[in-house]
Amino acid sequence: MSRSNGSRTRQSPRALKITFRAKLAPGENVLILGATGVTGKLAVRIAKLLGAARVVAAGRNQQILNSLRQLGADATIRLDTSAKDLHEAFVREAGEFVLRPL
């Protein structure tokens, strides 16, 4: 990361919380809300590098969601949809999960 972009430098430590606070164990499934932001993108990559079995990225920007598979996302969920469609997407893509807020 470049120091010339201060926002990226400040965001990086938050993404690293996935290692220390979420206590991700290899083989677990991960749902990342807000995956279209800088921290979310980092979290997608870090989760995969730490051995997550399945990484589901959720956000509102479809263009960025489309690019997250290159960072390791196995599936994406668009958050700005109807409640019914959102519920179906979470069940289909994320299945059962434990919520561990960072």
Please give the chain's pLDDT, 102 residues, in tens: 334 444 444 545 655 565 566 677 889 888 999 999 998 999 999 999 989 999 999 999 999 999 999 999 999 999 999 989 988 998 888 776 655 555
Strands, DSSP E only, in 34-79? 54-59, 75-78
Torsion angle, alpha carbons of 36, 53, 45, 13, to 10: 90
- pTM to 2 decimals? 0.75
Q: Which residues contact 101 (CB under 8 A, 6 or more apart)?
A: none
CB 79 within 8 A of CB 86: yes
Report the alpha-carbon angle 91-89-8, nearest 5.
Answer: 110
